Structure formats: structure tokens, C-alpha cells
């Protein structure tokens, strides 16, 4: 019988980070993983998707090489190599996590875990006694009623990432972050792409102007987009699938990917039998990530909230701190949200609309990448930055970016939002020239009508 201070069920961004933090704090830790080390993020989510996005970006640069004075006579896409590169990256990073576990003497049990009590877990015929248990099982893709995943025609994100080749056409149901990322990536590979979104804009919940700009860019690239439209039903045909839409349209495609959200993965853990409370699959926890059962904690996607890998990692660390009797508050108002479309999109804090809904006297300024020298050097001038400021105290309370390297630029604004930096203070920070980050200085100067590279 194995005994440990902390048993973690799941090795994704929440579970493996929590395990390392616990081991750093002197806790004897074991991790249960029924599938692949690294969880969804590493194996079928963030990392493989961004590996495909990197291949897409390389192709984009080849296609516009002539702009830079380079003539590329011929090129072709080798999907087998694209996928093998993706898989190699995943394998290397998974191996890295296992190395971290080994170095910290974290025991890994590659079996399905089932709780039998507040401190008892059964897995692979063995029993583990733990002083604390952390449920970090993440989430799984949501299905549409009457349209279950079949792995052949109706795909989840995991199914799509597991394909060895690429279909000629792809119907994307859901125009949120995941749907738009896949649409952008696979359109660059030459696929015929259609997005169907039931809400009144792509990226529901994001800044409307940013969403509209992305829609314009995707349409310019040949993506067909249906807004305020539902897929009523799907019908399988020979080597294809047909979608019947609420506006009366019919769309045919070789494959369909359903990107309508994710749901907590809390089934089969045995938590029903020991009385752990859930709400529609979401494990209920308090501020300290403790469930209603002493010494059982949960964090990451399985508790709902913001289903993002970096949030899950921070929650995993915070849950360990709570077990040790330490406070570790998480400010969910400053979580950066990043989208690896072409161009990239990133946001943090409040949009202008959300700030006004909260009764904040708001001031916002927009600055275009076309006014930035480095953007012209890169030949990537589409997009802009919007900075949202509380006009009563000049504090930066949010930002939205669509443009080159947006997912990197947002980190600087995240710091400003978290530490309540004013636009005037931020404008005083010298940014190197020529860099894309100069746009952040310009937009902060614009709050007080002092931007240099803009017309009066």
C-alpha cells in the first residue's frame, strides 16, 4: 500500500504544476494519469494546435516571400511532416514533464484512479492512502444534441488533431476561439472552410470591433462565415457530411469539427459515492479550492470558470498553497486570453462595453499597427490595439489587440492591469525602436492626445 501527502488525479497543466509545487514544498506526491502525461493541453490542445499554427505561419511567409524580394519557384505541403513535427514536439515536452517528476521524486501511476474515501484511491489493483487529494481531471469537448462525435465525419478537436492527413473541406461549428483558430490554420493549408456561429459575432464575449476585424480578414482569405445561424442537423453522405442550417442553407463538407465549448471531466472518479458535491458536472469548491469533503480539493477545468491552461496551472499551485495553510489569491480579472489566428488576437481585463456595464467612467483609445515602423518591416500592418482606461483615475483596466505577435504583447498590458498602472505612467516607459511594442507606448500616449505617430 502506497502512502503519500498528496495524490493528484490528472497530469495536465493543473495536475503536473501542482505536483511540482507540492514536491518543492516537501510533500510526498503521486500523480495518476489514465491517458497521456501532460493532459489535453499538451497532447490534443494548446501545444499541437500551436505547432500547426507555426507550420501555417511558415507557409504564409513562403506565399508572400516575393514581397521581401525572395522568389520561391515551387513549394508543396507535406502533411505527414507537418504532423510528425507536431507529434515530436508533444513527445519531447511530455518527456520533459516526466523528467521533472523524476527529479522531484514524484511517483506516476499510469492507471485510472477511483476514489473510495476521503483519503483512499484505487488504481490498477493497488490502494493508495493520501492525506490530501487533488482532482485535476480537466475537461472534454461538448457535443451537440443529436450530433455525437464519430471520429470520422463529426470530429472533436482531439479527433481533428489526430488526423494523419487533411480533408479538402471542413465545416467548423462554433466560431469561438477554438473554431477560429482551426479555421485560420486549415484555411492557410488550402482547405475550403465554412464557419457557422449561432451568436451575433465571432468570438462571443470578445470586443465586437476585434471580432468584426477578424471576420473581415477571414472572409478576405476565402473563409465562408454564417453568423446568427444554427446547424439544425447533420446528414452523412458518401465520404462527406451535409449540414442543414437554420436559414435554410445546406453546407457540404468532407469533415465537420464541433467547437461549441468544453465540459468538466468529472465522471468515473467515484466522487458520487463519497459525497463530493457537483453542479452540472462541475466540482464545487470554495475559495481555497477545497470541496465539501475535508482534504479533497479540485482545480482547473473540472471546477469550471475560465477554461484556460494558464488559469489551471495557477489554480493548481494555489490549491497546494491552501493545503499548506497559506493564502494564494487569484485575480481572475487580469487573466490574459490569447488566440493564435492569423493575425493573432489577445485581450486582458475589461472591454469598453463591459466597463460601462459595471458603471465605470471609461475612456478608450485605438492605435493602428500601420503606424508602427516594425509592422511595415514585417509586412504585417493589419490590426490595432485598444486600450481601456478608467477616466476617474487614469488606471489601465483592459486592452484588446489584433495584429502581429498580439499574444506576446498582451503580457505587458496584463502587468499594467494587475498593478493598477496609469496610462500616463505606462507612456513614460521607453520602448525600443524599431519594435512592435512601440504601439503600446503610442496607444497609452493617445489617452492624453499625445501620440506622436497619429494625426490630430
Active site residues: 433
Classify strands 139-141 and 154-155 as parallel, antiparallel or unpaired. Answer: unpaired
Pairing type for strands 154-155 and 384-390 reads unpaired
Contact of 98 with 110, CB cutoff 8 Å: no
Pairwise CA distance, residues 83 & 80, whole Å: 5
Whether cis (ω within 30° of 0) applies to the bond prior to 434 is yes
Assign 279 to helix, strand or coil. strand
**Beta-bridge partner residues of 422:** 395
263 in Cβ contact with 142 (< 8 Å): yes
Please answer whether residues 2 and 128 qualify as being in contact, where contact means their C-beta atoms are separated by less than 8 angstroms. Answer: yes
**Who's near 311: CB < 8 A, 6+ residues apart?**
300, 305, 330, 332, 335
- Classify strands 250-253 and 113-117 as parallel, antiparallel or unpaired: unpaired
Please state the φ and ψ torsions of residue 70, each to the nearest 5 degrees.
-115, 125
Cα 253 to Cα 168, 227, 240, distances in angstroms? 8, 18, 6
d(CA 6, CA 34): 17
End-to-end CA distance of the chain: 74
The C-alpha atoms of residue 381 and residue 369 are separated, in whole angstroms, by: 5
- Spatial distance between the Cα atoms of 337 and 335, rounded to a whole number of angstroms: 6
β-strand partners of 384: 368, 402
Sign of the Cα pseudo-torsion (16, 22, 25, 26, in order): negative
Task: Indicate the DSSP class of residue 251.
Answer: E
CA distance 100 to 122: 25
Amino acid at each position: 500500500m502506497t502512502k503519500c501527502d498528496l495524490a493528484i488525479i490528472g497530469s495536465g497543466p493543473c495536475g503536473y504544476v501542482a505536483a511540482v509545487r507540492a514536491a518543492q514544498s516537501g510533500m510526498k506526491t503521486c500523480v495518476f494519469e489514465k491517458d497521456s502525461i501532460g493532459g489535453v493541453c499538451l497532447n490534443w490542445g494548446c501545444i499541437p494546435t500551436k505547432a500547426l499554427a507555426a507550420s501555417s505561419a511558415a507557409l504564409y511567409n513562403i506565399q508572400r516571400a516575393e514581397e521581401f524580394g525572395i522568389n520561391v519557384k515551387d513549394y508543396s505541403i507535406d502533411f505527414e511532416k507537418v504532423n510528425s513535427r507536431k507529434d515530436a514536439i508533444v513527445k519531447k515536452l511530455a518527456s520533459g514533464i516526466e523528467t521533472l517528476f523524476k527529479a522531484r521524486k514524484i511517483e506516476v501511476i499510469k492507471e485510472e484512479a477511483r476514489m473510495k474515501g476521503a483519503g483512499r484511491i484505487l488504481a490498477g489493483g493497488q490502494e493508495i492512502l493520501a492525506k490530501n487529494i487533488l482532482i485535476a481531471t480537466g475537461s472534454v469537448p461538448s457535443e451537440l444534441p443529436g450530433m455525437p462525435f464519430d471520429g470520422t465525419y463529426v470530429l472533436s478537436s482531439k479527433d481533428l488533431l489526430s488526423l494523419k492527413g487533411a480533408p479538402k473541406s471542413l465545416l467548423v461549428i462554433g466560431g469561438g476561439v477554438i473554431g477560429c483558430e482551426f479555421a485560420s490554420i486549415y484555411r492557410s493549408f488550402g482547405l475550403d472552410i465554412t464557419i457557422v456561429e449561432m451568436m451575433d459575432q465571432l468570438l462571443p464575449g470578445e470586443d465586437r470591433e476585434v471580432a468584426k476585424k477578424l471576420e473581415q480578414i477571414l472572409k478576405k482569405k476565402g473563409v465562408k462565415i454564417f453568423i446568427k445561424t444554427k446547424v439544425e442537423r447533420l446528414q452523412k453522405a458518401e465520404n462527406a457530411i451535409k449540414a442543414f442550417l437554420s436559414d435554410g442553407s445546406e453546407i457540404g463538407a468532407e469533415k465537420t469539427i464541433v467547437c461549441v465549448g468544453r465540459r468538466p471531466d468529472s465522471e468515473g472518479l467515484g466522487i458520487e459515492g463519497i459525497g463530493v458535491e457537483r453542479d452540472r458536472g462541475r466540482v464545487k469548491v470554495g475559495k481555497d479550492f477545497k470541496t465539501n469533503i475535508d482534504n479533497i480539493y479540485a482545480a482547473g477545468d473540472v471546477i469550471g470558470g475560465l477554461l484556460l491552461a494558464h488559469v489551471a496551472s495557477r489554480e493548481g499551485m494555489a490549491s497546494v498553497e491552501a493545503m499548506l495553510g497559506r493564502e494564494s489569491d487569484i485575480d481572475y480579472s487580469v487573466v490574459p486570453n490569447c488566440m493564435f489566428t492569423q493575425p493573432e488576437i489577445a485581450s486582458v481585463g475589461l472591454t469598453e462595453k463591459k466597463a460601462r456595464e459595471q458603471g465605470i467612467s471609461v475612456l478608450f483609445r485605438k492605435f493602428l499597427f500601420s503606424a508602427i515602423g516594425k509592422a511595415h518591416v514585417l509586412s504585417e500592418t493589419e490590426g490595432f490595439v485598444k486600450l481601456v482606461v478608467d477616466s476617474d483615475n487614469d488606471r489601465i483596466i483592459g486592452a484588446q489587440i489584433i495584429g502581429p505577435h498580439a499574444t506576446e504583447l498582451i503580457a505587458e498590458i496584463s502587468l499594467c492591469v494587475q498593478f493598477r498602472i496609469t496610462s500616463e505612467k505606462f507612456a513614460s516607459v521607453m520602448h525600443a525602436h524599431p519594435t512592435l511594442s512601440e504601439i503600446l507606448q503610442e496607444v497609452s500616449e493617445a489617452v492624453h492626445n499625445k501620440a506622436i505617430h497619429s494625426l490630430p
